[in-house]
Amino acid sequence: MRFLKNKILWLTIYSTGVTFVFLYLLFPSVLVKEQLEATASLAGFILRAGALRPSLPLGVKLQDLTLRLSSKPADVIFRGELLDLQVNPVSMFRKHKTIHFRGKAYRGIFDGRAGFFSPPQTNLPVEGKINFQDIDLARYSPTGFPLFKGMTGLLRGSVFYIIDEATNQKSAGTLSIYLNRGAYPLTETFLGMNRIEFDRGEIQAQLKNGSVTLTKFEFYGTRMNCLLNGSISLADRLDESRLNLTGVLEIVGKNKARMNITVGGTLASPSFRYI
């Protein structure tokens, strides 16, 4: 075929390839990583990454990253193996700039998007969505949130939220989570059991005006069921958010039993009361 013998075509392909190689080799990885860390710092977080490199078509990849709250630098709230960030070029001409992301963490995968004001009015995303699948909770142990310490199981679901542009504060969103084959440790022994083992679980919640309402919090196992509802009042520091949950613990099988439970305190220091 003639186009295979076209020298100009092959010269163009060669030049384009060489250009991409040079751009890749000359990419200022250190400077970009420092800029990302500085941006996270302005938003109240400490971001650290083991490595950063360019990612086609218009993004970067971070490896071995950790995320902490600036207020509690010793507590790791997220640890990821890989995070790929891609800028949406079309959004550069819109009201919100959009960044798409995907990554790996805790033996699972996640993806989503985050939207920012243009020009920036806040360092936090004004809207966002994340989907996650096969997250191994046994590997997720955020030191700043004892409420989740010791929990196991496989997690999948999605989270969406958007901030009111008029106030830059009020927000709305939804959360949908499903869990399989796991366990949750109890702070106090309940009828001889020190943890709730479940085959399946589901959490549905809505975010509105700084409060999270749990519309569904149900876990079912071969020995015990747990059903809760209530609300979480969000604080400026997430770990100080107040819990106001009530529900029941049920023993299933031959020796059936039922006990009311109240969960109070904060995410960082929850308190459980059995009645």
pLDDT tens for each residue of the chain, 275 residues long:
454 455 554 445 544 544 444 444 445 677 778 888 887 887 778 889 888 888 878 888 999 999 888 877 787 888 999 999 998 877 666 667 888 999 999 999 999 998 876 655 555 677 889 999 999 988 887 665 666 778 899 999 999 988 766 555 667 899 999 999 999 887 767 667 778 889 999 999 998 887 899 999 999 988 888 899 999 998 877 778 899 999 998 888 777 788 898 989 888 788 888 77
Q: Go through 184-200 and write b for each residue having 16 or more CB atoms within 10 A of its CB, e for each that does not.
A: bebeeebeeeebbbbee
Q: How far apart are CA 219 and CA 225, in angstroms?
A: 6
Q: What is the DSSP letter of 241?
A: P
Structure tokens at 26: 């000359």
Assign 239 to helix, strand or coil: helix
C-beta separation of 114 from 146 below 8 A? no
Whole-angstrom Cα distance, residue 117 to residue 105? 28
In this predicted structure, what is the pLDDT of residue 244?
93
Tally Cβ neighbours within 10 Å of residue 68. Answer: 21
Question: pTM of the entire structure?
Answer: 0.79
SS3 for 229?
A: strand
Tell me the Cα Rg of the chain.
23
How many CA atoms, within 13 angstroms, populate the side-chain half-sphere of residue 116?
Answer: 16
Residue 206 confidence (pLDDT): 93
For the range 49-52, what are the long-range contacts, defined as Cβ-Cβ under 8 Å and sequence gap of 24 or more?
A: 49/83
Burial class (CB in 10 A: 0-12, 13-18, 19+), 35: exposed
pLDDT attached to residue 73: 79
DSSP, collapsed to helix, strand or coil, labels residue 57 as: coil
Q: What share of the chain is helix, strand, coil (3-state, %, to 5)?
A: 20, 60, 25
- For residues 131, 33, 90 and 159, what is the CA-based torsion angle, rounded to 10 degrees? 20
Q: Are 189 and 168 in contact (CB under 8 A)?
A: no
Is residue 41 helix, strand or coil?
A: helix
